[in-house]
Chains A and B, each alone.
Chain A
Amino acid sequence: MTVMLEHIKKYYTFVDKTNPLTKILIGLLLFLLVVLMHNPNQLFYLAMIMLVALVVLSGIQLRYLLVMLALFLVFGAFSAMYMVFYGAGTTTLFRFGLIHITEESLIRGIHIMMRGLTLSFFGALVIFTTKLTDVFYSLMIQLRLKPKFAYSFMAAIRMVPIIAGEYMMLRQARKVRKPLIHKRHISGLKGFITTVITLLSQSIRRAYRLGVAMEAKQFDDGPRTYYYQTSFSKYDVLFVEMVIVIAFVSFFLGTEFSLINVTDAR
């Protein structure tokens, strides 16, 4: 993953040096914050500042971020449709059959969409600045997660390309044999189950073999040394401070410079 990212990453910032656990914890708190934030103005500023943070701190080339932003907007809009179309409200903007768009439901829909966007922006920042192995090393070193869990995850990550490769092979085999076998073995429920069974059974065999091999080499949960070291540092403090400042600035801007005259999306 990191290998792929290096092509599009231009520079590194302090967020790259922040401990993954700090980022995950802040992510959880941010989730609580957006669920408790009912003022669309505040949420708008929060989403915007988060976007700026993503652009500045991720160090990713702008055109990739733009593509991603477009996708986030489309998915975000889809996920808010139910509210826009069928939400409660009194000021009707549009009515067609069951669909009843009101000013209130539209604003609430946009509010829900901005919640998603804020979290997506933060999530993207985390993804672009975190090495996957560091997450598991931090879990082991800082949170004392048992190595068997962490190493199982890291080993399984290595198997994902193999799983994907097997899936492609299966597809090609089916393409070749298509004229000879019944269609239901390829598409539909039967086809789905066949695919899953093939992938699962091979993966279980592979995992079992690896597990036996690791146990034979005396892999256990006892004391051990680590090839990579992770720790908490001043960058973690800086990161936490930054998010707190972002939250307060958006509170302030949303209250003092509100864009729409609605302070509660409910």
Chain B
Amino acid sequence: MAQRKGLTLTDVLITVVIGFVFAVIYSLWGAVYTVLQPLGLHLNELVYGMWFIAAVVAYLILRKPGVALLAEFAAGAGETIVTLQFDVILIVYALLQGLACEIIFAAFKYESTKMMTAVYAGIAAALITLPIDWFYGYLAEVAVWNIVLMFSLRIISGALIAGVLAHLIYQALKETGVLKFVGRRKLSHDEGL
């Protein structure tokens, strides 16, 4: 495979498949989220960060422009296919969250694989949809402590799950050796291989 700058077919294929693996996980994760919902205490926000993990993991693996957005869209669209529910909000959110990660990764010129980069991306993705939630869920009309709780839990979740956990997955994946085939090989994962 030639070392081209843009996304090759193989890059796209790998990104979409990564997105779909996470789509299966997202669909199962929906049950966890729902179980935590009934109290209204936003405990569900603690697991919210799982929904941006595809973008971060795909970026860490391939480190090319557009990968985070594509992976997150694939994961969102995949969730639609796996659960057989077409949800416009889900697709819009997936695109926005992917875009948020993409902006952070662009700021690092698509080179950094540090854990902090992933954490920043997770936080950015957690923040980006809050304005929509604000209007959709009439959040201005809820007790202040409840809102503060919701926002902080979501940001923590984004940092921990989409940041730290995504990085752990990347590290473990690197050890399997599967990454020597893929991504921008020059600045690559293949130390020691």
Q: Which residues of A contact B (CB under 8 A)?
A: 1, 24, 27-28, 30-31, 35, 75, 78-79, 81-88, 99-100, 104-105, 108, 111-112, 115, 119-120, 122-124, 126-127, 130, 132, 148-149, 151-153, 155-157, 159-160, 163-164, 167, 189, 193, 196-197, 199-201, 203-208, 210-212, 214-215, 219-220, 265-266
Residues of B within 8 A of A75 (CB): 34
Q: Compute how far the CA of A122 lies from the CA of B20 in the bound complex, rounded to whole angstroms.
A: 24
Q: In the assembly, what is the distance between CA of A206 and CA of B17, in Å?
A: 9
Q: Does B42 contact A (CB under 8 A)?
A: yes
Contacts of A156 in B (CB 8 A): 13, 16-17, 19-20, 74, 78
A30 to B57, CA, bound (A): 32
A222 vs chain B, min Cβ distance (A)? 12
Binding site for A on B (CB under 8 A): 1, 7-21, 23-25, 34, 37-42, 57, 61, 70, 74, 77-78, 80-82, 84-89, 92, 132, 135-138, 140-143, 146, 150, 165, 168-169, 172-173, 176, 178-179, 181-182
Inter-subunit contact A160/B87 (CB<8 Å): no
The docked-state distance in angstroms from the alpha carbon of A100 to that of B61 is 48
| CB of A34, distance to nearest CB on chain B (Å) | 8
A31 touches B89 (CB 8 A): yes
A208 in contact with B138 (CB, 8 Å): no
Taking CB atoms, residues of chain B closer than 8 Å to A220 are: 9
Measured between beta carbons, the chain A residues less than 8 angstroms from B8 are 148, 211, 215
CB of B86 within 8 A of CB of A126, answer yes
Check if A148 sits within 8 Å of B142, measured CB to CB. Answer: no
Question: Which of A83, A100, A199 has a CB less than 8 Å from the CB of B137?
Answer: A83
A24 to B95, CA, bound (A): 14
- When A81-B39, A212-B10 are in contact, do A193 and B168 touch as well, CB less than 8 Å? yes
Contact B142 A204 (CB under 8 A): no
Are A82 and B84 touching (Cβ within 8 A)?
no
In the complex, what residues of A have CB within 8 A of residue B40's CB?
81-86, 99
Q: Are A88 and B143 in contact (CB under 8 A)?
A: yes
Counting from the closest, the 8 A-B pairs by CB-CB distance are A211-B10, A82-B40, A123-B86, A81-B40, A27-B88, A85-B40, A207-B17, A78-B37
Give B9's nearest chain A residue, CB to CB: A148
Q: List 24 A-B contacts (CB under 8 A).
A: A31-B88, A79-B37, A81-B37, A82-B150, A85-B39, A85-B40, A87-B138, A88-B141, A105-B141, A119-B88, A148-B7, A152-B12, A156-B13, A160-B78, A163-B24, A203-B18, A204-B61, A204-B173, A205-B178, A206-B17, A207-B13, A208-B182, A266-B138, A266-B141
B residues less than 8 Å from A206 (CB atoms): 17
Which of B16, B34, B146 lies in contact with A78, CB distance below 8 A? B34
